[in-house]
Amino acid sequence: MILKEIQVQEHNESQYALHKKKFSFLSETLSDNGINVNKILDDLIRFQIAIPSWALGTGGTRFARFSGGGEPRTLEEKIEDVGMIHSLNKSSGKISLHIPWDIPKDYKKIQILSASFGIQFDAVNSNTFQDQPDQEFSYKFGSLQHTDKKVRQQAINHNKEVIKHGIELGSKSITVWLSDGSCFPGQLNFKKAFNRTLESLKEIYSSLPSDWRMFVEYKPYEPNFYSTTVGDWGTSLLFANKLGNQAFTLVDLGHHLPNTNIEQIVALLLNENKLGGFHFNDSKYGDDDLTVGSIKPYQLFLIFNELVDSETPFIEKEFGWMIDASHNVKDPLEDLLQSVEAIKIAYAQALVIDRIALEEARDANDVVLCQEILQNAFRTDVRPLLAEARMQAGGALNPVQTYRYLAVRKNLISERGNKSVSSGL
Ligand code: RM4
Ligand code: MN
Ligand code: MN
């Protein structure tokens, strides 16, 4: 199903009067406080967040998977779905492919299709955490860390393959997430596992085109429950530093132990110029992969506070921004719309922080005032800014509402059937 801009605009018209009222009030209030509203709208319009190819179907747990119907059956249909999201929110002009779940067969065709929706290819992702049917060696005991050189070589070759697919599609980065580690004490020699992983990563890194980046993702546990070889940001940063200036640390919000101060990690990675990007999701307990902003919106805001505070505006940098959430009870497209919205809300809130006053209050150790300033921004309802930016870009004032009004899921089910299952998690 392909949305026409006119359908979106027609629906916008019915909501325009109310939007105008809210937007006028907010933009006047912000302008009175010396905030440049047009600049914020501009930043919001430019900010694009990639959709991963594995999040367009219903996610599952290790217990069950409940398909919602109308899931994309092919890469082409996945691109169509990202096109649908993008035509509603105008902020999802990128797709991130996971290989081998989504191997492009005809690059040209795929490129023409994605370009017709205004979609580019973001980071490509390798997968050495599962065994594929045609694969010679198993990753049961790891991939890049494996004790057997032949297994390591197979995983290295896979990553090189992924880079090749990415080059054909115009991607500029690869994200490496390893499930390597150990489940029991004594199972693994930590130092040897680290060094083997480093050697493997070096070989992959050496095949990176000069304008590419490598993102090294970390995760403290699961599926290995005693140790993971890239377990935290410190380890990832060690790898990135040893690899060279094309390697960066990637922060997946769900890959931290409870209560970790992620915003501080972000600040320090920025300071080292080693922040590669984000995988956005939310969680209550661990790697829950819940909708961004559904549990801890304040944390998300504090992360954006650090990003906005960085010397080079982060929007100028080539960060990898991607949603990385997949669960089993919502319509995945609605969920993705909500996630992108939550990220942009946090961004807009961070943009309205009075930074000069905050720095002064910090210098004066006025702790109360610091909190007042931050929370004043956090408690500002910035949604009219998002709606205005979206409308100016040709999108929907209210993406989820428009999606429902246009009965997108019903149409997708009638096109693709009730039992279609998409590749991915
Ligand atoms: C992992 C990790 C990776 C993602 C896979 C699907 O937990 O977050 O980034 O590619 O899930
Ligand atoms: Mn991730
Ligand atoms: Mn994850």
Look up residue 95 and give its two tokens.
């797709």
Alpha-carbon span 330 to 59, nearest angstrom: 9
Look up residue 258 and give its two tokens.
């409870």
Mutation test residue for ligand 1: of 99, 252, 288, 290, the one with most atoms within 8 Å of CB: 252
Alpha-carbon span 70 to 68, nearest angstrom: 7
Alpha-carbon span 229 to 219, nearest angstrom: 9
Alpha-carbon span 403 to 411, nearest angstrom: 11
Q: Distance, CA 315 to ligand 3 centroid (Å)? A: 24
What distances in angstroms separate CA 28 from CA 34, 35, 42, 218, 339, one per listed residue? 10, 9, 17, 43, 28
Give the pLDDT of residue 140: 98
Give the pLDDT of residue 326: 84
Please enumerate in sequence order all residues whose Cβ is within 8 A of that of 410, keeping only pairs 6 or more positions apart, or say none.
none
> 93 and 118 in contact (C-beta within 8 Å)?
yes
* Ligand 1 atom nearest to CA at 424: 6
3-state secondary structure of 247: strand
The answer to which of 56-60, 183-187, 250-254 has the lowest mean pLDDT is: 56-60
Q: Distance, CA 322 to ligand 2 centroid (Å)? A: 9
Give the pLDDT of residue 87: 97
Tens digit of each residue's pLDDT (9 = 90 or more) over 292-326? 999 999 999 999 999 999 877 677 777 899 999 98
Is the minimum distance from the CB of 289 to ligand 1 under 6 angstroms? Answer: no
Please state the rounded mean pLDDT for residues 269-293.
96
Please state the rounded mean pLDDT for residues 132-161.
98
Alpha-carbon span 183 to 406, nearest angstrom: 48
Q: What percent of the chain has pLDDT over 90?
A: 91
Is the minimum distance from the CB of 146 to ligand 1 under 6 angstroms? Answer: no
Is the minimum distance from the CB of 324 to ligand 1 under 6 angstroms? Answer: yes
Is the minimum distance from the CB of 279 to ligand 1 under 6 angstroms? Answer: yes
Q: Is the pLDDT score of 58 beyond 90?
A: no
Is the minimum distance from the CB of 102 to ligand 1 under 6 angstroms? Answer: no
Strand-pairing partners, residue 182, are 227
Tens digit of each residue's pLDDT (9 = 90 or more) over 93-139? 999 999 999 999 999 999 999 999 999 999 999 999 999 999 999 99
Tens digit of each residue's pLDDT (9 = 90 or more) over 372-421? 999 999 999 999 999 999 999 999 999 999 999 999 999 999 999 998 87
Task: Tell me the average pLDDT of the chain.
Answer: 96
Q: Is the pLDDT score of 64 beyond 80?
A: yes
Give the pLDDT of residue 318: 79
H or E, element range at 298 = helix 297-309
Nearest CA to ligand 1 atom 6: 425
Is the minimum distance from the CB of 280 to ligand 1 under 6 angstroms? Answer: no
Give the pLDDT of residue 421: 78
Alpha-carbon span 236 to 218, nearest angstrom: 6
